[in-house]
Amino acid sequence: MDYFDLTEEELEQVTSACSWVRATPALLPYLQQFLALRLACAPRLASRIGALEARQVFRLWEGIKDRQQSPSPLPRGRPVSPVRVIRCAWRTRP
């Protein structure tokens, strides 16, 4: 799958940003904003994710979902609502 010229390291950052959130259909409408907030420490990557078109965001969501469903060493915590994470991030912004 084409990941829009993301390097393997960047793709790992994106996947890690979603490690505590399940890539369910409920996440899709919030994915782009969620990733931009979660990747704030990597502004270049966050802006690249923010510039993706809707079909690219959908393909990225599919890739994240596929990676989450494959056996991996990523932590498997209790799913967190992306809306809750975004609201929390906005409250803690400087």
SS3 of 28-73: HHHHHHHHHHHCCCCHHHHHHHHCCCHHHHHHHHHHHHHHHHCCCC
Q: Which residues of 9-42 are buried (b: 16+ CB within 10 A; e: fewer)?
A: ebbebbbebbbebbbeeebbebbbbbbbbbbeeb
Is 17 among the domain residues?
yes
Q: For 29-71, what is each residue's pLDDT tens digit? A: 999 999 989 998 889 999 999 999 999 999 989 888 888 887 6
Number of domains in the chain: 1
Cα atoms in the 13 Å half-sphere on the side-chain side of 21: 25
Is 1 among the domain residues?
no
Is 3 among the domain residues?
no
Instruction: Label residue 11 by pLDDT band (50, 70, 90).
Output: confident
For residues 33 and 2, which has the higher predicted lDDT (pLDDT)?
Answer: 33
- Identify the residue whose tokens are 């959130």: 21
Mean of per-residue pLDDT scores for the chain: 77
Domain that holds residue 35: 8-72+79-91
Is 63 among the domain residues?
yes
Is 37 among the domain residues?
yes
Is 42 among the domain residues?
yes
Instruction: Label residue 19 by pLDDT band (50, 70, 90).
Output: confident
